[in-house]
Amino acid sequence: MLALSNRGATPEQLPIISGTRMGIEMIRGAAGSGKTSTALLRLESLAHTFVARRKRLGLAEPVKVLVLSFNRTLAGYVEHLAASQLAAFTDVTCEIDTFAAWAHRCLGAPSIIDDDEREPMLRRLGAGVALAPDALLNEIEYVCGRFRPAERANYVALERTGRGNAQAVPRTLRPAILQVIDRFYTELVAYQGGGWLDWHLLAEQMLTIPSRQYDIVIIDEAQDFSANQIRAVRHHLSDPYCLTLVLDTAQRLYPRGYTWAETGLDLQLARYHRLRENHRNTVEIAQFAAGIVDGLTVDDDGTLPDFSAATRHGERPLVCAGRYKNQLTFAIDWIKANVDLTTETVAFLKPRGGKWFKDIRSALDINGLGFVTITRDRKWPIGPENIALSTMHSAKGLEFDHVIILGLNAENTPHGDGADDEELLLLRRLLAMALGRARKSVIVGYKPTEASDLVTFFKPDTFNLLAV
């Protein structure tokens, strides 16, 4: 499977890549603008700067680099480019991982309660709270991600930012939610004899150990890290340091709801860069993706997909309406007729994983088309297969020549009522992000009698409709 590689810097990227000032850099940009590669291409020049400083000061320790990604798949995807930037250095160490895996390793691999155990505990403890169970879980994730344990009482009064138009949880319910959280952590102390953490406590524990003194840190998709995770990274910076935040809240999949100032980062002297050109998508793909998120509220860190920033032209996205079996048959035949699998990549993406890929796996096997499943896989596949199966979440930050999304139905895209429902807004961003992974072509399929509400956001004249 082809991974992220150095295609050469663009005129937009060159001034950013050549900069070697200490402090905080924020790289923002439209989907497909090369935000991640820009940050990684800075590694070589930054490493030279810190190595020279080490020699000047007579310091023996190697320069320490940390690259954190949003998910395990993305960590594997960027590893090749990061390693190539630092290949010539013998006095530089580099760690590339997700926050969870990095923190777990730094803390000596403590026991972490599985989400399949944790969520039922929270649902049971929160049964008396007047919120839908999924909404309650989402709110608990927000509270535990934004506030340190000793400061959770601040949740009652503080507003949540970044919610779009969705209504905040009433203040009258917030004390009860805090009680659920407190009872959960009380039970966790005794869980299976004690000694267990959850992922939120992992971030808190990282704030209590001595700083690991990283000189260069890159956080990719930083908008999806919780406030406590950012606080933990800040704790482990050296002095001086160079911290690069790569972000685009138009792609935000999880509602973190905090301001950067809360994390302790001093952004007054930060340098901001915005990449505007869309180097990945064709004009037609960008128009289709932009239509799905048209009208969404975006904060200052976000840039919606901008079809005016794309310059290459191609075919319009193809939307197939019909039975799932027919969608799949069409997609397989289309790959055979149009894709050179020795030089091009294809991604079958879905909102959810597991059983939802069963028929695709079977069809690819029957047709002799090799594939790999990359959802949550830390190791990027190195075999010859150039067809990938992945959830949309795990595809975040990745790039493929062709993206195929079949079976877009109501069952695998559930949400609440109303156009301002937060889950619906997240699903719209999720789909737009998934479509934005494509360089050359997009195929989307749905069954009209079971269609997802997301289909209603397909703007006329941005796609070709085919009955299958």
- Beta carbons within 10 angstroms of residue 276's beta carbon: 13
The C-alpha atoms of residue 310 and residue 283 are separated, in whole angstroms, by 5
Query: Do residues 391 and 349 lie in contact, with contact meaning Cβ atoms separated by under 8 Å?
Result: yes
33 labelled ligand-binding: yes
The C-alpha atoms of residue 39 and residue 31 are separated, in whole angstroms, by 15
31 labelled ligand-binding: yes
162 labelled ligand-binding: no
370 labelled ligand-binding: no
30 labelled ligand-binding: yes
Residues 6+ apart with CB under 8 A from 380: 1, 3, 73, 76, 77, 79, 80, 374
108 labelled ligand-binding: no
- Beta carbons within 10 angstroms of residue 245's beta carbon: 26
Q: Partners of 387 in the beta sheet?
A: 346
8-state DSSP, 163: -
The C-alpha atoms of residue 361 and residue 389 are separated, in whole angstroms, by 9
> For the residues of 24-76, what is the DSSP string, one character each?
EEEEEE-TTS-HHHHHHHTHHHHHHHHHHHHHHHT--SPEEEEEEESSHHHHH
Reference 43, options 7, 4, 93, 3; nearest CA is 93
Residue with tokens 């699903």: 427
For the chain, how many residues are written? Answer: 468
397 labelled ligand-binding: no
8-state DSSP, 234: H
34 labelled ligand-binding: yes
The C-alpha atoms of residue 181 and residue 413 are separated, in whole angstroms, by 28
| Binding-site annotation, residues for ATP | 29-36
| Binding-site annotation, residues | 29-36
